[in-house]
Amino acid sequence: MKLLLKNAYLLKDPFSQIQKTNLLIQDGKISKIGEIQEDADQVYDLSGKLVMPGLVNCHTHAAMTLMRGIAEDMNLEDWLNKKIFPIEAKLTAEHVYYGTMIAQMEMARKGIVAYVDMYFHCDSVAQAAVDFGMKALITRGLVDIDGDGERRLKENILFFEKWNGKDGLIEVGFGPHAPYTCSLKYIDKVAYVAQQLNAPVTIHLYESRSETYQLEDILSTNLANCKVIFAHCVHLKDEYIPLLAKENFFVAHNPTSNLKLGNGIAPIKKLLDHGVQVCLGTDGAASNNTLDILHEMRLATLLQKMNDPSNITVEQALCMATIFGAKASGLTSGKLQVGEDADLIVLDVQRPWFLPFENMKAHLVHSASSLDVFATMVKGKWIYYDGNYPTVQIKEIIEGFENSVRDLTQNNV
Ligand SMILES: CSC[C@H]1O[C@@H](n2cnc3c(O)ncnc32)[C@H](O)[C@@H]1O
Ligand SMILES: [Zn+2]
């Protein structure tokens, strides 16, 4: 299958100049950029539109769309213990499928091509990603404080064997939840298994003020040898920052969730200055309440500028949302060049807030909103195009989602 995207403005990566050009996409990959004479099966005239690398959401719990708006104005501890955990105890595979589907529809609408998930009923998450055509690094959330950690780890291993690499869309990793729900011994064991399987790990770290464990202890486990995405890192002691500057470590910054749950602002400027690889996440829809990486990119940037506007540049912001997220997730390249998967988004830039055109990169960070996203493509397939979701039956999904919410909230509100 050959697709021709004609007359588009192209931003190949955060550091390149925008140029007007054409892209040929063949069998899911970018096969040519420039003058194209070849015939294609489908031709799209993208005059007035900008094509750029798709955004990556490096920390979420997709199915928590089911709990969006259910617990507002609470701190992390009460939010989790009083509201979220009791509802999650009732989750079924079917609920997670529909919750994940709705999350994916939202993310695709907002220009996200790939996400990193930590949750339960992972077969449902993976099935939803494959059915929708979105890329996902999926981890089984692992906890051992209740003595049932081994069973969960076995489940994660079986899930790895079944789904890792599926359709070039799915990567499977391991998700020890946090140092306050996992013993050091358990984190060590999970990381050992992940290392043997060459699988990535993601874990919540230093999200709230009450998290006072020692980073040296966490990094004395096998985690040090794994590719790890540390979500949050808000309450890091200064001396811990250099310990995270490693090729195999990434920090997923979730500014909206951190503010909304009253946890504060992560030291992103300091992390970047020390060479830590920072990417962006939304966290779940129950603590955000949107799944919008363009919004996170702008908020992250503004928060770091609070004391000094030179703290973070337009290019750094775009890198966090694209290339760094791509590298952290391992799902996509974050760049549009020949030979790469066609994981891209199309923005309608014929709007007053994208003028003057010359300063487009700044507009992408500081003026754009997700409503400017016109289309989203993963591996050469449109998963969102001008108001439509070509891969799914929207009515059936909304019905399944609404039934799931009804199941979960009966006798609970
Ligand atoms: C064990 S599966 C994932 C687990 O994480 C919970 N969760 C969602 N958001 C957060 C957050 O901000 N901090 C800590 N834990 C979070 C989710 O509800 C699942 O139980
Ligand atoms: Zn989280």
Every domain of the chain and the residues it spans:
2-53+336-385, 55-329
Residue 124: is its pLDDT beyond 80? yes
- Per-residue pLDDT of 21-58, as tens digits, reads 999 999 999 999 999 999 999 999 999 999 999 999 99
Task: Give the confidence band of 318 by pLDDT, cuts at 50, 70, 90.
Answer: very high
More confident residue, 391 or 410: 391
C-alpha of residue 258 to centroid of ligand 2, in Å: 10
Number of H helices, E strands in the chain: 14, 16
Rounded Cα–Cα distance for residues 251 and 229 (Å): 6
CA-based nearest residue to 403, from 99, 126, 108, 123: 99
Residue 394 scores a pLDDT above 70: yes
257 Cα to the center of ligand 2, angstroms: 9
- Substitution candidate for ligand 1 out of 66, 79, 80 with most atoms within 8 A of CB: 80
Paired residues of 249 in beta bridges: 228
Spacing, Cα 317 to ligand 2 middle (Å): 21
Indicate which ligand has the atom closest to the C-alpha of 180.
1
Q: For ligand 1, atom 8, which residue shows the shortest CA distance?
A: 284
Residues with CB under 5 A from ligand 2 (ion): 283
When pLDDT is averaged across residues 97-122 and rounded to a whole number, the result is 99
Interval 180-184 mean pLDDT: 98
Per-residue pLDDT tens over the stretch 225-256? 999 999 999 999 999 999 999 999 999 999 99
Nearest-angstrom CA–CA distance, 334 and 322: 5
Q: Tell me the pLDDT tens digit for each residue of 329-350.
A: 999 999 999 999 999 999 999 9
* pLDDT exceeds cutoff 50 at 103: yes
Ligand 1 within 6 A of CB of 329: no
Enclosing H/E stretch for 273: helix 268-273
39 Cα: distance to centroid of ligand 2 (angstroms)? 46
pLDDT of residue 308 exceeding 50:
yes
User: Ligand 2: distance of its center to the CA of 119 in Å?
Assistant: 9
Mean of pLDDT over the chain: 97
Looking at residue 166, what is its pLDDT?
98
Q: What is the pLDDT of residue 410?
A: 85
The helix/strand/coil state of 388 is strand
- pLDDT tens by residue, 194-232: 999 999 999 999 999 999 999 999 999 999 999 999 999
Give the mean pLDDT of 104-118. 99
In this prediction, residue 9 carries a pLDDT of: 98
Write down the pLDDT at residue 325.
98
The contacts of residue 82 (CB under 8 Å, 6+ apart) are: 71, 74
Position 104 pLDDT exceeds 50: yes
Q: What percent of the chain has pLDDT over 70?
A: 99
**What is the structure's pLDDT at 169?**
98
The mean pLDDT of 146-169, rounded to a whole number, is: 98
Which CATH number is correct for 2-53+336-385, 2.30.40.10, 3.40.50.620, 1.10.510.10, 3.40.50.150? 2.30.40.10
Q: How far apart are the first and last CA of the chain?
A: 50
pLDDT range class, residue 413, cuts 50, 70, 90: very low
Reported as type and span, the H/E element at residue 24 is: strand 19-26
Atom of ligand 1 nearest to the CA of 207: 13
- Decide if the complex's ipTM is over 0.85: yes
Does residue 17 have a pLDDT over 80?
yes
Cα 258 to chain centroid distance, Å, stands at 16
Shortest-distance ligand to the CA of residue 178? 1
Which residues does the annotation place in the binding site for Zn(2+)? 59, 61, 204, 283
Is residue 211 within 6 Å of ligand 1 at its C-beta? no
* Topology given in CATH for the domain delimited by 55-329: TIM Barrel (3.20.20)
Distances (CA, A) of 37 to 4, 16, 21, 350: 10, 25, 13, 27
